[in-house]
Amino acid sequence: MITFFQEDVSFKIPTPLKTKRWLKAVVEAEGAQLNHLNYIFCSDDYLLDVNRQYLEHDYYTDIITFDTSDEEEDQIEGDIFVSIDRIKDNAQNLNKTFEDEFRRVLVHGVLHLIGFDDTTDDSKAEMRKKEDDYLQIFKDL
């Protein structure tokens, strides 16, 4: 199950049913099982507070992913906080549409829960390739 929430922003997700089908397909394509994902859409300031409180980081980010699954590795469950402000800024700075950058961030969080990281140049490149591949799949749905 995938649920979408809003904290301190007024935001309506574009094509929610198609987005849920797509994210479920991503999880299945990676050989995992979807248990429950909560996406929480919020502002920069809200996510900065989460970043400070839980990760002890003092900077803005577009996404923070918390894995809430049990020990079973193939069960995907988590809370994914997404800054709508940051996505808007990043889309503009990268000359992308809001929707493309938004979907990239959504799938980025899922890939983290599946086990991908972006801590090295190689792992960042692998994550970006997966994001690009899955963004294309969304367009083909």
Superfamily of 2-140 according to CATH: Metalloproteases ("zincins"), catalytic domain (3.40.390.30)
Alpha-helix residue ranges (DSSP H) falling in the chain: 16-29, 44-50, 84-94, 98-114, 121-140
pLDDT tens-digit series, residues 3-19: 999 999 999 998 999 99
Cβ–Cβ < 8 Å for 91, 83:
no
pLDDT tens-digit series, residues 94-130: 999 999 999 999 999 999 999 999 889 999 999 999 9
> Domain locations in the chain?
2-140
Torsion, Cα of 90, 7, 130, 36 (10° steps): 180
pLDDT tens-digit series, residues 54-72: 999 999 999 999 999 886 6
* Tokens matching residue 15: 């094509």
Let me know how long the chain is: 141
Strand partners, 131: none
pLDDT for res 140: 81
pLDDT for res 139: 85
Q: What is the rounded distance in angstroms from the CA atom of residue 129 to the CA atom of residue 67?
A: 22
